[in-house]
Amino acid sequence: MSVNVDVRELFATAVAGFGRVLRRVTDEDWDRPTPCTEWDVRQLVAHVVDEHRWIEPLLAGRRIPEVAAELDDDVLGNDPFEAWHRWTSVSTDSVRAVDDAGDRVVHLSFGDTTADEYLSQLSTDHLVHTWDLAHAIGGDQHLDEYLVGWVGHWFASVEDDYRAAGLIAERTPVPPGASARTLLLALMGRADGPTAAAVTRFDEAIRHRDLDALAAAMTDDAVFESTTPPDGRRHEGIAAVREAFDELFRSSPDARFATEELVVAGSRAFLRWRYDWGPSPADHVRGIDVYTVREGLVAEKLTYVKG
């Protein structure tokens, strides 16, 4: 793919894509978990809006400590949509005015770079978080094909640096012949496709202890088999599965699940995890879930544990 493109246009496409998904967010969505495990929907949107607050001053050559002193922590205020429109209006006007993106110096936290590089980073972040937001609220997860291809081309040169800095997770496995979109998301540590999306959504609900999100992620006749010896305790139907996890969450309020790997094969998925419940390194077990997905929802979760 040619890199001789106007990165300002790529940025505009990426911003428009995120805005399109943001318009679908409802009052019930703000607390939903996202693929960015440390953020719910509101925190994810706040992160993206906050990026726009910095664009105008950084493109003007100002430095981070000076700008930070002028910004408060209340990024979204009482109206996240108004905050989005206000700050994107300012930022996109400043980006359009840039006519020397390859030469203009921008002072970032990790060092100086060009405006062209800065806008490439922002376009990539918006594209990936568009998928994150769409995944979190459900429904259409469309990404602009040209932008996906361009970001994939650009990101190949910086992937190792991003991962070394802890900005992205480890690559996820992809099937042979995977699309450019699936490959790019895998580079970012995300699993694409309906099966991966369903399992990830279910897993995120568990890690966030969100029983409503858990119920919304499973079929009416969903089955969960726990690790209770010898063959696991079987729970059938949304109410029973929800009750089982409610009991687990209440019995271990400080315990933590961490996902180690997700492998997808058609409508089946295999998720490796670690469960920690105490301060000692010995206070944990590791296990695997075998999932079956039907029509975008988890129909079966069979859990096995080491030990």
Query: pTM here?
Result: 0.70
Dihedral (C-alpha) 277, 280, 283, 285: value to the nearest 10 degrees? 100
Q: Is 177 left (phi over 0), alpha (psi -120 to 50) or beta?
A: left
State the average pLDDT over residues 110-132: 93
Give yes or no for a contact between 3 and 117, defined as CB atoms under 8 angstroms apart.
no
Q: Which CATH number describes the domain made up of 194-305?
A: 3.10.450.50
Please name the fold of domain 7-187: Four Helix Bundle (Hemerythrin (Met), subunit A) (1.20.120)
Give tens-digit pLDDT for 35-57: 887 899 999 999 999 999 999 99
pLDDT band at 1 (very low <50, low <70, confident <90, very high): very low
- % of residues, the chain, pLDDT over 90: 55
Other CB atoms within 10 A of residue 155 CB:
19
Domain boundary assignment for the chain = 7-187, 194-305
